[in-house]
Amino acid sequence: MTRFDDALIDALREIINIGVGRAAGTLNELLGQHIALEVPQIRIVDQHELDGVAPGSSDKTVSMVMLQFSGEFSGFSTLLFTADCASKLVDLLVDDETPSSELDAIKTGTLTEVGNILLNAVMGSIANLLKSHLNYTIPRYQEGSLRVLLDSIWANDSESALEITTRFTVQSSQITGEFLVLFEVGSFNTFISGLQAAFDE
Amino acid sequence: MAVILHTDDSSFSRLQIGKVLKKAGHELLHADSGKAALALLAEKTPDLIITDILMPEMDGIGLLEALKAQGNSIPVLVVTADVQDDTRATCLALGAFELINKPPKDEELLATVAQGLGRGKV
């Protein structure tokens, strides 16, 4: 496995910052509210270590949009909210006139598309910086225990992954969400080579 | 005002983009995949086509390829969350006149639609 030195971690953090920054700008346009970002956390994890990711403990119910990517490097990018924050976000984006019978479908459709837009902003910015191209699957929205959801997207428990998490807050609405990107171990080297090339230019 | 075919599998984006275009006086036709768009185009001839890229059944790239193969003359605008440079290059090479990213600003969407309509036969 590739060993990460400080310079590489710094470069990785910067490239993620750029991607998340673009996503924050997009969310700012959608909501008209300031988005505060935290510094990305980066670590190499085994599947059982994923419990530590926010929001909340692994048993807590979360709303998750997942966008799978493949290409020169592959993995999963996810957008995570607590159920409460997901509802608040939908309330900000959807008209009050929506019939209550359609609320579940509207909520799912809205969160899926918002997740799609934000996750594309993050991953597409990274791909552009690395002069690479990613293919995406159709984004998927799920609710449930974080542990179960993560297990469902990362089936091979023998592998490690590069985990990157960044928390963001829509300050005036007290909505907090989290980007979680998992790079599959097999694509580490390609990803890191691209990263080094981008920052050596 | 024009007839616009909007192809997107997201009800949220169809609603948001549809609201802006209808307010500007345009008539909207909807399809939720490239395949559905092609079926609709066999019966109707809109003045402009807007398409997303990532969709089930047939994505926006597949739609552009099919339209190019048919010798399509209707201007096509891609509105997508995909911000990758080479996705843009691919779409333009396949005949789209422009690509803008989601969520489009109202003014940007209307100006780009107007630009496309200027190229088509309205």
Residue found by looking up tokens 């080579």 in the block: A193
In this complex, do A117 and B81 lie within 8 Å of one another by their Cβ atoms? Answer: yes
> Residue A32 pLDDT more than 80?
yes
Q: Provide the sign of the torsion angle of the four alpha carbons B79, A63, B57, A75, taken in this order.
A: positive
pLDDT of res. B50 = 98
pTM equals 0.83
In this complex, do B84 and A112 lie within 8 Å of one another by their Cβ atoms? Answer: no
Distances (CA, A) of A76 to A191, B24, B117: 14, 39, 39
Q: Give, in degrees to the nearest 5, the angle at Cα A184 between A181 and A189.
A: 110
> Residue B21 pLDDT more than 50?
yes
Distances (CA, A) of B118 to B19, B74, B93, B105: 22, 11, 20, 20
- Among A38-52, A97-111, A124-138, A142-156, the range scoring the smallest mean pLDDT is A38-52
- pLDDT band, very low/low/confident/very high, at A49 (cuts 50, 70, 90): low
pLDDT of res. A30 = 87
pLDDT of res. B122 = 40
| Partner A contacted by B57 (CB < 8 A) | no
Whether ipTM exceeds 0.85: no
Q: Provide the sign of the torsion angle of the four alpha carbons B17, B19, B24, B25, taken in this order.
A: positive
Distances (CA, A) of A108 to A63, A64, A87, A117: 10, 10, 10, 14
Residues A154 and A161: beta-carbon distance below 8 Å: yes
pLDDT of res. A3 = 52
* β-pair type (B76-80, B98-101): parallel
In this complex, do A113 and B13 lie within 8 Å of one another by their Cβ atoms? Answer: yes
> Residue A185 pLDDT more than 80?
no
Helices B106-119 and B11-23 pack at an angle, to 10 degrees, of: 70
- pLDDT band, very low/low/confident/very high, at B76 (cuts 50, 70, 90): very high
In this complex, do A124 and B83 lie within 8 Å of one another by their Cβ atoms? Answer: yes
pLDDT of res. B98 = 97
CB atoms within 10 A of CB A45: 16
| Partner A contacted by B85 (CB < 8 A) | yes
Closest-CA residue of B relative to A67 is B54
Residue A174 has φ and ψ, to the nearest 5°, of: 55, 40
